[in-house]
Structure 1
């Protein structure tokens, strides 16, 4: 019944839009003045990382980020304030890894669940125009992701006629990437398309020193894991789109996307465990060959109606997306003591997602802005694990411990409203989002079924105050949620190796976070400064829990903690040191506290961390551009231990040959210092894991623009970022 009421309310609010539709469009809106306001924000276009702020987001241009020209999306995100990306491609926002990744304001199955890190490291960044960071989005956006939203805005042409760009970059170890983008604008019709391919080779090393408590002797028994991994493969991306203006008020759009990843992986693992006397108690080696494929296909349709009055619009979006993932591997396990074991493992995931979204925006008297809409998503996930083992490749039999099938269905029905009103120099935007969620899980192998339906309200509040022509204050609040991933709810124990298993928890609750921010902005000339204090109060925090099963065997599962809190102070500065030298620096002092009572500790655990990044850009001549960027992340508290600091330094150079041709050289991880070290330290387990990859590289590339037509003035438009 609640669902029906929510949808009826949304329809009732939206209905006036159809009644008030007019035949004449609004006159063009006058250009905004250069002075900042609490809502519209300011734009710094002279800096290499041009930043603009609005009432609920910060937007960073990556147009002059040379890492984005030759690297992956993960490489580009490493240069964005507030964002951190580790060696494995895991993204965090102000120290919180629960981040939602969107493309042009819309979710994608490519960036959900365990796929997120691989996709960010595989997809090229050269089609990204800017990155929006929303730590407290308005109610117009989904509340998923306790840290907030990272919205990737793709490039769009500003020129009439036929225009395009061809690009190619070549690096070491057989790495290369390239692509073509083209647009044709003729009258009412605009056609656009992209085709790209990225070939990559990744060599990774993992070293784990582990000691588990032997209850009989009271001693910690040591063990050593070593892993060498070699991945080779490519990522193909294809996109085609069309926009057609039916008349001056109505535009319809359609888009088709295909992304395919295909990698071969060679893996060699070794383990040596010792007893209380220091002798070898168990050892094994494992050689694995795997084929990994991920296909993502999507089709979408959009309708936009411009009504009488500025910013008076009605939009509708319908999308259907299919993501298929498979990993097939063959392995030889040599045990000592014990005989050889041959393994044939297969994992498959099929995900379908359908989204219907309608947004209505209407300006009201006294500069009031009303936005409302509804958002419905149906998603289904089918996970199929199959494992066979035997003494020889011809004697394989199904292994029940590695074979299971799990189905996860989630439907979300949401309606929202935001209301924004100025009071002189003071502006307030309030919002409320209502969601009905229906979740059904079915572990077919064990016959375990679970159902979880719940109704939640997610309020938001944004306030801004203009102190002067150059200074503004803002404060905001939002309630966020981190829903468990499908695999987080799968109770079946999944075999990783003889000493590591993983299982989900069907009783997990959604993690709910109340997020608060207070900020100050200052702009004078080409200098821009930003200071933000933030605080997050989380209940039912979801985290990994490592359980010692005895004999050196560990089970990693997921649990809800009681509570956790986090806060910090973030500083950002952009400016010009000289007519040819610009800078962008940021720092984040982060504190978090964890209720560790369920993790083998007594009471709470807390810690602080400091991270920072710097970008220096030198326009040596009108045709020569040099860039240096670096970042560092300090020691970070985790639920059962900590992560050690990591850092990276990158260099870049661009030569503008003429108006159409540019040459680029980038050097990544110049100091060869980028690695990830995590430590687990509990009363029964001591574990230190070091992970590194061949990130250090030099790329040579070029970009060639073709086509004609007088370019339109470049605009920094938020409309592509979604409804907020």
Structure 2
């Protein structure tokens, strides 16, 4: 399928120079103090470049000094952010919950949903990101999607007039390389920005599945082992162009066009063997697979921003965007069975996703420092899935298999409106919000001529409170209701063929997962030293989870189901400070507990467990030109209805040499001790499964960056709403 676009006639949000949707424009130009105070949602911060900044509903972490972000992917950068974990496959979780919504400058993107979302994060260059904003309890101004919360990737912006840019290139010891160029031209009322990058990646991965299923006839267990070695190679190309035009001092028009392509080739060598309950060989195969995957994503957007009289906070922003994603995957396999005949297969999948979003946000300051914010957010999305499958005794004699050929169309439209009201009462501030959403879903199994539709209306309240104990200490309390809607494939009952003994299937009866999230927080900050403590609790009903069942004959089915309910809670601690004039640290830890009630899935009683996760960063400014960094992290054990996922960990090292203000060199060692792997365990009376996945993310990168252009940088104007409500 070819990537196609429909040009949209739309006005564009008025943005400050190269700053995202709904950011408050800077006042009329005047000299700024070196660390001018900036008001953000009722909290006063200083506009320096410290590692963490907080607002009433979010925390933002700088990745400017994260050396792995200079040479790695966004997934690598996220591994060093408190509260965030990223597994071997690029899947992100917040405090152990994988239901996370990822935004870019406050805007959603189809590339971070569905098939290949992990590939997108693992392929997107991290040097395009300036800060990572974490919102575990976002206000009603943001979409409630993602029970864990929102991760907002805030891209780098220039603050210099004239023509400026950066050239960068990195290469590792295994043949990987990445590089790109970013440039900005600012003259008069017009600002043009653009960037282009390419990332080449090769990765050897392995998967080992050890299974034992209960043989009810003998009372013993039937064991099997599936061992696969995977060789991936490919690249990602990213192009973006944008403009900002100041019509007058109160109006700005903006537009953006972005294109991204991921293309990978994959070769898999796989062995499978199974034994009877008595330990005798029963069946085995050798299987080789070669395939290719491409994912094209493109979007065009237009924005308009209007600033009214009465202050820079009195603003109307509008945004219109159209996005198309094309995903294709084709593979050929040859299987030598013992006993049985040799078998040739061809498996394919195509997905076309379209998404159109129209939204507007209006912020109005009122007397007594009251702030009112309201808006609407309309999105229509369509997903068209095509599965293909054929097999035969020879590569030229393939015959389509009816059960492996299917077309499925899924449409979901969401119409939302919200309002938030924020008011201070001396040292105490409160922000209440309410978001109302009407959802319409239509499904069409074209192959089997089965259609269905569903629609529902829900409201999502939020409440955020803050209290200033002193100039350096604050308290906070907040609540939000979140939703995790089943995805298109989650609702499709079609049984997807993975390999001869593994299938995956959706469930049309799935309900949306609803989570009530509560948090209490304390923060102490003085200069670049800060300490955070957050106690949190989440009560969830109808959690969507994977369930593995035995189909017989050694085959297994992974399906989706709603849990009865689940609860989780914990205490998260973060500390950042300076040990010596040249040595700084950042530590974070999360002690958490979760409980699962899966009685409606046939399990008896509840299951619960506790775990600890954490990370540590050390930064040493050895000289004015030499910077050394060490970071290490470990995720916690995660409970599942049928078992658990074991912790994973990694150690990264880095060194940067600054030659001058324009040129610097970087060396990074990723996964220096080769620790990184992912293990999931199923342990039930009828099924015991241990799946281990690993990948050679271990590497040493050598790189440089060179800045060109001139001009005096403008004072930083930081706003946690960069990108605007999602």
Sort the TM-score into its range (normalised by shorter chain): over 0.9
Query: Which residue in the other structure is 1:10 paired with?
Result: none
1:113 Cα deviation from its structure 2 partner: 1.8
Name the SS for the 1:276 alignment partner: coil
What are the equivalent positions in structure 2 for 1:657-696 lying under 5 Å apart? 657-696=659-698
What's the TM-score once normalised by structure 2's chain length? 0.94
Q: 1:403 to 1:718 in 2, by over 3 A?
A: same
Query: Which residue in the other structure is 2:78 paired with?
Result: 77
Query: Which residue in the other structure is 1:40 paired with?
Result: 43
Measured against aligned partners, the alpha-carbon deviations of 1:626-667 in whole angstroms (never above 9, x if no partner) come to: 000000123221221011222111000000001100000000
Counterpart contact for 1:161–1:185, Cα < 8 Å:
yes
Query: Which residue in the other structure is 2:174 paired with?
Result: 173
Name the SS for the 1:110 alignment partner: helix
The list of structure 1 runs, each at least 4 consecutive aligned residues, that deviate by more than 6 angstroms after superposition, is: 24-33, 35-38
Query: Which residue in the other structure is 1:133 paired with?
Result: 134
Query: Which residue in the other structure is 1:7 paired with?
Result: none
Name the SS for the 1:673 alignment partner: coil
Name the SS for the 1:484 alignment partner: coil
Name the SS for the 1:120 alignment partner: helix
Matched, 1:59 2:60: yes
What are the equivalent positions in structure 2 for 1:523-602 lying under 5 Å apart? 523-602=525-604
Counterpart contact for 2:522–2:532, Cα < 8 Å:
yes
Q: In structure 2, what is the Cα distance between the partners aligned to 1:647 and 1:92?
A: 14
Name the SS for the 1:488 alignment partner: helix
1:36 Cα deviation from its structure 2 partner: 9.3
Matched, 1:146 2:147: yes
Matched, 1:243 2:236: no
Name the SS for the 2:436 alignment partner: strand
Matched, 1:424 2:426: yes
1:393 Cα deviation from its structure 2 partner: 1.2
Counterpart contact for 2:37–2:44, Cα < 8 Å:
no
Q: In structure 2, what is the Cα distance between the partners aligned to 1:287 and 1:25?
A: 59
Matched, 1:287 2:293: no
Query: Which residue in the other structure is 2:365 paired with?
Result: 363
1:394 Cα deviation from its structure 2 partner: 1.6
Query: Which residue in the other structure is 1:12 paired with?
Result: none
Name the SS for the 1:69 alignment partner: helix
Query: Which residue in the other structure is 1:209 paired with?
Result: 210
Query: Which residue in the other structure is 1:436 paired with?
Result: 438
Query: Which residue in the other structure is 1:108 paired with?
Result: 109
1:598 Cα deviation from its structure 2 partner: 3.7
1:483 paired residue among 468, 482, 485: 485
Q: In structure 1, what is the Cα distance between the partners aligned to 2:721 and 2:186?
A: 20
Q: In structure 2, what is the Cα distance between the partners aligned to 1:496 and 1:415?
A: 41
What are the equivalent positions in structure 2 for 1:188-227 lying under 5 Å apart? 188-227=189-228
Measured against aligned partners, the alpha-carbon deviations of 1:269-302 in whole angstroms (never above 9, x if no partner) come to: 1110100121111111211110100000100001
Counterpart contact for 2:48–2:716, Cα < 8 Å:
no
Name the SS for the 1:621 alignment partner: coil
Counterpart contact for 1:227–1:267, Cα < 8 Å:
yes
Measured against aligned partners, the alpha-carbon deviations of 1:676-709 in whole angstroms (never above 9, x if no partner) come to: 1111001110001111100110000000000111
1:377 paired residue among 376, 379, 389: 379
Q: In structure 2, what is the Cα distance between the partners aligned to 1:195 and 1:33?
A: 34
Gaps of at least 5 residues in structure 1 are 1-23
Counterpart contact for 1:109–1:323, Cα < 8 Å:
yes
1:400 Cα deviation from its structure 2 partner: 1.2
Query: Which residue in the other structure is 1:277 paired with?
Result: 278
Counterpart contact for 2:171–2:703, Cα < 8 Å:
yes
Name the SS for the 1:420 alignment partner: strand
Counterpart contact for 1:35–1:470, Cα < 8 Å:
no
Query: Which residue in the other structure is 1:646 paired with?
Result: 648
Matched, 1:400 2:366: no
1:526 Cα deviation from its structure 2 partner: 2.9
Query: Which residue in the other structure is 2:722 paired with?
Result: 720
Q: 1:377 to 1:184 in 2, by over 3 A?
A: same
Q: In structure 1, what is the Cα distance between the partners aligned to 2:363 and 2:169?
A: 42
Query: Which residue in the other structure is 2:12 paired with?
Result: none
Q: 1:33 to 1:472 in 2, by over 3 A?
A: farther
Q: 1:87 to 1:25 in 2, by over 3 A?
A: closer
Query: Which residue in the other structure is 1:16 paired with?
Result: none
1:544 Cα deviation from its structure 2 partner: 0.4
Query: Which residue in the other structure is 2:699 paired with?
Result: 697
Counterpart contact for 1:582–1:617, Cα < 8 Å:
yes
2:709 paired residue among 703, 707, 710: 707
Q: In structure 2, what is the Cα distance between the partners aligned to 1:151 and 1:36?
A: 20
Q: In structure 1, what is the Cα distance between the partners aligned to 2:271 and 2:436?
A: 51
Q: In structure 1, what is the Cα distance between the partners aligned to 2:261 and 2:49?
A: 37
Counterpart contact for 2:418–2:433, Cα < 8 Å:
yes
Root-mean-square deviation (CA, aligned residues, Å) is 1.7
Q: 1:35 to 1:185 in 2, by over 3 A?
A: closer
Counterpart contact for 1:38–1:426, Cα < 8 Å:
no
Q: In structure 1, what is the Cα distance between the partners aligned to 2:259 and 2:40?
A: 41
1:88 Cα deviation from its structure 2 partner: 1.1
